[in-house]
Amino acid sequence: MEREIISFDYAIKNVLRDKANFDILSGFLTELLIKPVSVQEVLESEGNTPTPGGKVNRLDLKAKMDDGEIAVFEIQFFDQIDFLGKVLFNACKAVVEQVSAGELFDVKKVYSVNIAYFNMGSQKEYLFVANLTEFKGVNFDEVIPFSQNLDPLSTVSKAIHPEYFLILPRKYNEENDEKKEVSKSKFDEWVYVLKHSSVKSDFTAAGIQAAGEKLDVLKMTPEQRAEYERKKIIDLSQKSQLYTAELKGIKIGVGEEKEQVVIRGHKKGHSIDVIAEFADLSPDQVLKILQQNRLA
């Protein structure tokens, strides 16, 4: 038996910010990081606070865990030429935002969780990890761990360099589980959820049955269901527009031509997000053009 749930991208932007649903987020991270995780709060910052211009330059979610470590989430449906640059930027920003002027660089580790639904060149792998753990000597066989200890009474140093996860749900094929080079992990159940937006009754991964219970589409009120369907339609429409532009190889010029693209996009009812992506402008630039033409 399977239970249909709301899509994870919708949940992470609109539902999992609620403290009552932190058990879902905690379970997801517990299985991904292979250690017990308890999410304590969702953090707001310049990097992930919603703005009138949309989410072009912000995170989908930034969460603080029980040990002070941080997880940042980015979900990307469309091929983006600078996607990995954005991944690096989001991780670095989460590091920088931990330190106040005049204080020690007391940096907690950041986990960058990136879920991509487009082709990144993988043949069959759907879960990738990148991490810098040490400095290696060039002339001699020596290493220095990329970790630090700010407590004089402690002998334990903790790794501080960000760790990156890249998850490609569309590459996951549950039929290949028996052919894998390593044994099936509980996180595979979460990848199944990311791919199918459904939870099987026999899944046992941490937090996954809570997701099936709390994110069940059938348990939504009529108002919640209507809002969910409305946002799904908007998202699908925007993705379709961008995909069509990509297929046609549309290239936008500069200056006046871009201004006309912004104006036409606005008149057609497109969001600032879509116009910015289509015209290769920032949301602020789009908003400025609209204001100059008395359209905003």
- Assess whether 126 and 89 both reside in one domain: yes
Q: Choose the final residue of a domain: 173, 198, 219.
A: 219
- What confidence score (pLDDT) does residue 45 get? 56
Q: What is the pLDDT of residues 222-246, one digit of tens each?
A: 888 787 777 777 666 666 665 565 5
Between residues 289 and 70, which one has the greater pLDDT? 70
Same domain, 209 and 229: no
Provide the pLDDT for residue 222: 82
What tens digit of pLDDT does each residue of 40-68 get?
999 875 545 544 444 444 678 999 999 89
pLDDT for 55 equals: 45
Instruction: Provide DSSP, 25-92.
Output: HHHHHHHHHTS---EEEE---TTT--BTTBSTTS-SEEEEETTS-EEEEEEE-S--TTHHHHHHHHHH
Say yes or no: 235 and 189 in one domain: no
Average pLDDT, the chain: 84
Closest residue by Cα to residue 146 from 162, 155, 134: 134
The answer to whether 146 touches 161, Cβ cutoff 8 Å, is yes
Looking at the structure, do residues 184 and 273 belong to the same domain, yes or no?
A: no
Asked if residue 203 and residue 60 are part of one domain, the reply reads yes
Same domain, 248 and 202: no
Quick one: 88 and 210 in the same domain? yes
Q: Same structural domain for residues 93 and 226?
A: no
The verdict on 157 and 24 lying in the same domain is yes
Containing structural domain, residue 252: 222-292
Domain count, the chain: 2
156/288 same-domain check: no
pLDDT at 217 (0 to 100): 84
Q: Same structural domain for residues 178 and 130?
A: yes
**pTM, two decimal places:** 0.74
- Are residue 63 and residue 208 in the same domain, yes or no? yes
What per-residue confidence (pLDDT) applies to 256?
57
